[in-house]
Amino acid sequence: MSSKELDKFFDKGIGAFEKGDFKKALKIFNKIINKNPKDSRAWSNRGASLLNLGKFEEAIKSESIAIQIDPNNAFAWFNKGVSLNEIGKYEEAIECYEESLKINPSFQEAKRLNETLLSKFKAEQTPEKYLEEETIVEEKPKEEVIVEEKEDDVMVLSGEMRIEPIKEMDFEIDTHPKELYSAYNRGLEHIENKQFNEAIIDLNEVLSIDDTFAHAWYNKGLALLRLLDHEEAIYCFDKTIEINQKIVSAFAGKGVALAASGNSNDLKRAIKYYEEAIFLNPTDYKVWVNKGLALAKLERHEEAILSFNEALTLNPNIEDGWAAKGVALAKLKKHEEAIKCFEESLKINPNFRIAKNYMAVALNNLKNEILNKETS
């Protein structure tokens, strides 16, 4: 999406906001942030939408990110102040109104709310207490950064393609603020807990600090994929590849997102991305399985079987791989071979429902084939 297209989209968000359709506005500003996590205006207007939806804590977080990107965003300071006021944090609200007025001294609404709140706050305290009181900021213990090596993982589970988060960092830890690592680790934790919307918010925060953090784009793509937002997931995987072409899972992830449509052109494109991933790492059996599935959807069953064979040579203990190969063989009416594959799958996992169901069908088809031969 070009800058002109983003501006048009931004205007649509403002239009929805002005009409009082805050949910629609929120969706639009979220979409802009997904494309450009460093857009302070979008974060600020997202916060304003959340504020009007009564989600004050989320609004504060959104406005804080807007301020982090652009400390001179007077509206972000103002909206943060209003949200803080709503949850009874009057001192912090006053500080925000005052910051807003430093940037724009003619901001009348900020001036009015600041004066009102100051009067209210002073009335509730004795003059001595008000003058002497200081805000004590308690230092929080330094949050531990989780940096863990993990193999790129793309696999099939019960017929569903799945990719796993990358936990490693692709830069030196000491070169970025601690807020980045805290947000990144929260995002990973949300993904592991299947809280994908929350993960995207955290990863957008990471990208608002550093939009060249390839693994953050990748993990955001993963979260979007799990929310079935394939178009946005593809955008994130493209950004990952643009920054770092060595992240094999980004190619595989894009393949998964493309294959999800079931459209023949998308399936063909998906196969190309799987092949790119295989070129980079030919020993990743999981990508071979996914390539086989895409070929099978295109009814290229013989090619699919070759792909499943590659996967099973690399790892003979893939229940999904054996089952997928069995389905492809059954489609070619090779029922005896198919049954053997389903049996192998069930040796690995006796409770694998898909293998059980397909084996029952294959056994029935084999029985009918034998009967037809006997009666002909």
Establish if 323 belongs to a structural domain: no
In a domain, 105, yes or no: yes
DSSP-assigned beta bridge partners for residue 163: 154
- List 146's β-bridge partners, or say none: none
- CATH number, domain of 40, equals 1.25.40.10
In this model, does residue 140 exceed pLDDT 50? Answer: no
Same-domain status, 125 and 251: no
The reply to whether 266 and 177 lie within a common domain is yes
Side chain identity at residue 331, one-letter code: K
- What is the C-alpha separation between 342 and 311, in angstroms, rounded? 16
Within a domain: residue 146? no
Domain count, the chain: 2
Q: What is the rounded CA–CA span in Å between residue 168 and residue 369?
A: 53
Q: Are residues 300 and 178 in the same domain?
A: yes
62 and 170 fall within a common domain: no
> What's the pLDDT tens digit per position in 242-301?
999 999 999 999 999 999 888 999 999 999 999 999 999 999 999 999 999 999 999 999
One domain, residues 119 and 189: no
204 and 239 share one domain: yes
The more confident residue out of 163 and 197 is 197
Single out the residue in 80, 98, 132 at which a domain terminates: 132
What is the per-residue pLDDT for 161?
A: 45
Is the whole model's pTM more than 0.75, yes or no? Answer: no
In a 3-state reduction of DSSP, which class is residue 193?
Answer: coil
- Residue 174 in this model has a pLDDT that exceeds 60: no
Q: Is residue 349, in this structure, part of any structural domain at all?
A: no
Q: Clarify whether residues 64 and 186 are in a common domain.
A: no
Q: Is pLDDT larger for residue 123 or for residue 165?
A: 165
Residue span of the structural domain in which 218 resides? 154-315
- Token code pair at residue 237: 């995987």
**Domain stops at, among 82, 99, 132:** 132
The answer to whether residues 74 and 125 belong to one domain is yes
Query: Are both 187 and 301 inside the same structural domain?
Result: yes
**pLDDT tens profile 296-344:** 999 999 999 999 999 999 999 999 899 999 999 999 999 899 999 999 9
Together in a domain, 304 and 161: yes
Q: Is residue 275 part of a domain?
A: yes
Q: Please report the sign of the dihedral spanned by the C-alpha atoms of residue 40, residue 46, residue 49, residue 55.
A: negative
197, pLDDT greater than 80: yes
Assess if residue 304 is contained within a domain: yes
- Which of 173, 176, 252 lies closest to 218 in space, CA to CA? 252
CA angle 231–236–239, rounded 5-degree value: 130
CB 92 within 8 A of CB 84: yes
* Res 20: pLDDT: 87
Q: Answer whether residue 369 is part of any domain.
A: no
* One domain for residues 185 and 253: yes
CA gap 58, 29 in Å, rounded:
14
In the chain, % of residues over pLDDT 90:
52
**157 backbone dihedrals φ, ψ, rounded to 5°:** -130, 115
Average pLDDT over residues 174-184: 76
Residues 6+ apart with CB under 8 A from 247: 152, 166, 170, 214, 215, 218, 240, 241
Q: What is the pLDDT of residues 141-152, one digit of tens each?
A: 333 333 333 333
Q: Residue 198: inside a domain, yes or no? A: yes
